Structure 1
């Protein structure tokens, strides 16, 4: 039991009457842990984030262990209207931090539970799970659900924002594979929602869940996936030849072929020497004879056509693919942003991307990661869920490490300028990788319905604002 040193009252001097917020009584209602600025572990807990560039200084941190803690926290913020609320799991997103002294940070990272229904090929997970947690369990059954490419990311914010990863082209977004969830709304009530029960909430959750509540559990559809044929091809960015550009354009051409079973992931990496890494993936089908031979042959064709500087083709487990950045992409100060393409990777787009990486700030590490959409993600109607952009071909994700404070603004300027150069090829912004405050721009045709449901389920704007 943690020691409570005083009653931690907070006075809002802007109010004509002093409004005292009784944190002491609130802490007694929480079954998990709470931390305030006088507590010894406050600073340590406050900085348990992946993105350390985001300021995080709430009045109180709640490390929830169950639904009761989430419900009590939401009610507390609702009853004390001067408080802000942010939801945090792994802290990859800047919106999970509070800049200032008037906030409550609800940390759900301890709410981990995973249950696999092998017969129905589903997995039910707690809102605090990471991709690593989920893949580790589903892989034991030869199953996987569409998740992202960095295993330390939490499932909640990622999936409710759409969710793009290695399986998007084949099986759709993470949110497209959500079958059911349990959400706690602004009145502190828990609601189960799916296509038949609370279907309006279910519509919001699949693309904009962070605006109306806290999702404490998810049930996803899974697929029979165990091994992957992976071709890893490196192309030097060299003015004397166009191999890197030609390889990018070849990926763009192949994307337009709806029968192409391969999946492409690109990393335009400002390493030494500068290079383009293209991973070509073929997911093995246990029901197809000689599946591995087919995959290797298709990937070999790509290699022969694009002439990489270095190359390798191997068969690895799906979890190894998912976890390959573990231990490499570590917590730190980052600036990351990126839109969705409406065109494929054309010669012009390739030139713009290669030009951008050559114009980067030489004092830091930057990369442009390109993930393929298309396929099943494009077959869902744009009004079927809150996620609005269904004509996109690739997600362009620009990531930079901020080694010193003086680099932050130049990196922001370079990133925004790169996106500006691509403006004629962009279909829209992706909520999970956007700093935009214009939600009309992000949600497009779905904005008005989203706004109506936001007003219905979160009239006091406790959760993320649409304005």
Structure 2
């Protein structure tokens, strides 16, 4: 049984009087380990993460965020920032320090005439989709509705509209930010433009974004769903997916993967979303649907928020997760055979392997135009080990690491920031690519003491 302690980075305890002074004037909840609600507040989606903060500050608004930052700075506390808590590495939590929890700050406001959306940082993708869909609009985001908008956006953001409308971070117009000093600033193309550059793909290194202003797009009903084949067809399905997507229109985003059916049978699937004219979408998707002998073809017109929830079942709460990933410059036949071979060795029916194509609108933005540097990266392969019994952790993590090692000869040595499950500095540098040196300078300017360190960290220049 872990006994949580609230202590400073130097190991000294934070006394009750200091805590009570912080509570005074804080409008949200201040949760200590002995308080009701603490246990649920420290739990996140990934059951492998079991951390015990000394204090959780559940902010009700920006004033609370400022107060929490200044309190943490004055008391030399380790700081974790939580929005959706969906990061696989569990960076939303820490041991002994303070968690600045934005989950209650989840307001979404749509301007249908300007097609803009103001979103507080605690909002989940499903909450954004619900409000935008009312106006026939959508913000390009991820593929799991329970994901927090903030972490997704700061790391780039890849989802069903990416080939047509770009990354989530490409659709940010401005940010409200609380800095490491506790100041409230705006970052956009005209104001603090260097910070605005870094927030679009640079992770949580430069401040706490309390709200985003997004550009939305006219997306309401899409043609989407999943096509499932028997696992022995995996290599053939992957090859066809690769060749088919090489000339597919940008209205179509599709991912391929190794999955298991609800009955636990190993399978291979292609999940697709066409965001243009539905009749044209039927024509475009016809060859993909006609390939082979699918076990299931569930492609159909659906409201975009329904499309956004289709992958939720593959990311259940309270399941252990360990992820590895890498970009490949090409999806060669040899690489496909390797992916299938190692994927077939997975021992949990919850585990899946994902192949994501990066092209279209993503590549029309220069690598140096935002902090997201992997715009010509080709294919991302996500190795997502998932299991229920904690006693099996070593078995499943060993499988994922061996799979990742086998892909190294084919890797472009580039990585998708939001898929990083390790703290290896080389992987972080690989994720930031050619922008890393500029990010170091930005970190040195906005956070010279590395106050925000529990992230895919860029260390300031010493």
TM-score (norm 1): 0.89
1:128 alignment partner, SS class:
coil
Checking the alignment, whether the CA contact within 8 Å between 2:366 and 2:375 is kept in structure 1 is yes
Q: Which residue of 2 aligns with 1:437?
A: 424
Q: Which residue of 2 aligns with 1:318?
A: 304
Within a 5 Å distance, the mapping from 1:69-148 to structure 2 comes to: 69-81=64-76, 83-93=77-87, 94-101=89-96, 103-148=97-142
- Tell me the CA shift for residue 229 of structure 1: 1.4
Of the three residues 329, 344, 349, the one matched with 1:343 is 329
Checking the alignment, whether the CA contact within 8 Å between 2:234 and 2:258 is kept in structure 1 is no
Q: CA RMSD in A?
A: 2.2
Q: Which residue of 2 aligns with 1:409?
A: 394
Structure 1 residue runs without a partner (length 5+): 1-7, 285-290
* Equivalent-residue separation in structure 2 for 1:162 and 1:348 (angstroms): 29
- Tell me the CA shift for residue 364 of structure 1: 5.3
- Higher mean C-alpha deviation, range 390-399 or range 349-358: 390-399
Q: Which residue of 2 aligns with 1:458?
A: 447
Q: Which residue of 2 aligns with 1:23?
A: 19
Q: Structure 1 pair 258/280, CA: closer, same or farther in 2 (3 Å)?
A: closer
Q: Which residue of 1 aligns with 2:235?
A: 245
Of the three residues 147, 168, 181, the one matched with 1:174 is 168
Q: Which residue of 2 aligns with 1:4?
A: none
- Higher mean C-alpha deviation, range 263-272 or range 138-147: 263-272
Q: Does residue 65 in structure 1 map to residue 60 in structure 2?
A: yes
Checking the alignment, whether the CA contact within 8 Å between 1:184 and 1:191 is kept in structure 2 is yes
Q: Which residue of 1 aligns with 2:353?
A: 368
Checking the alignment, whether the CA contact within 8 Å between 1:268 and 1:369 is kept in structure 2 is yes
Checking the alignment, whether the CA contact within 8 Å between 1:89 and 1:107 is kept in structure 2 is yes
- Higher mean C-alpha deviation, range 159-168 or range 389-398: 389-398
* Equivalent-residue separation in structure 1 for 2:281 and 2:330 (angstroms): 23
Checking the alignment, whether the CA contact within 8 Å between 2:323 and 2:400 is kept in structure 1 is yes
Q: Which residue of 1 aligns with 2:271?
A: 279
- Higher mean C-alpha deviation, range 303-312 or range 149-158: 303-312
Q: Which residue of 1 aligns with 2:362?
A: 377
Checking the alignment, whether the CA contact within 8 Å between 2:180 and 2:206 is kept in structure 1 is yes
Of the three residues 249, 256, 281, the one matched with 1:295 is 281
* Equivalent-residue separation in structure 1 for 2:225 and 2:94 (angstroms): 43
- Tell me the CA shift for residue 166 of structure 1: 0.8
- Tell me the CA shift for residue 176 of structure 1: 0.9
* Equivalent-residue separation in structure 1 for 2:306 and 2:185 (angstroms): 36
Residue-by-residue CA offset, 1:362-396 (whole Å, 9 max, x unaligned): x5521112233211111111111111111122332
Checking the alignment, whether the CA contact within 8 Å between 2:47 and 2:321 is kept in structure 1 is no
2:204 alignment partner, SS class:
helix
Residue-by-residue CA offset, 1:250-270 (whole Å, 9 max, x unaligned): 221233336564321223114
- Higher mean C-alpha deviation, range 127-136 or range 50-59: 50-59
- Tell me the CA shift for residue 426 of structure 1: 2.7
* Equivalent-residue separation in structure 1 for 2:20 and 2:379 (angstroms): 49
Q: Which residue of 2 aligns with 1:3?
A: none
- Tell me the CA shift for residue 443 of structure 1: 1.2
- Higher mean C-alpha deviation, range 141-150 or range 332-341: 332-341
* Equivalent-residue separation in structure 1 for 2:448 and 2:247 (angstroms): 46
Residue-by-residue CA offset, 1:292-351 (whole Å, 9 max, x unaligned): 222112211222244434324311111110122446632113224243433343312221
Q: Which residue of 1 aligns with 2:245?
A: 255
Aligned residue-pair number: 444
Checking the alignment, whether the CA contact within 8 Å between 2:51 and 2:93 is kept in structure 1 is yes
Q: Does residue 38 in structure 1 map to residue 34 in structure 2?
A: yes
- Higher mean C-alpha deviation, range 71-80 or range 294-303: 294-303
Residue-by-residue CA offset, 1:182-227 (whole Å, 9 max, x unaligned): 0110010011111111001001100114011100000111111111
1:208 alignment partner, SS class:
coil
Q: Structure 1 pair 40/311, CA: closer, same or farther in 2 (3 Å)?
A: closer
Q: Which residue of 2 aligns with 1:264?
A: 254
Structure 2 residue runs without a partner (length 5+): none
Q: Structure 1 pair 218/71, CA: closer, same or farther in 2 (3 Å)?
A: same
2:24 alignment partner, SS class:
helix
- Tell me the CA shift for residue 123 of structure 1: 0.8
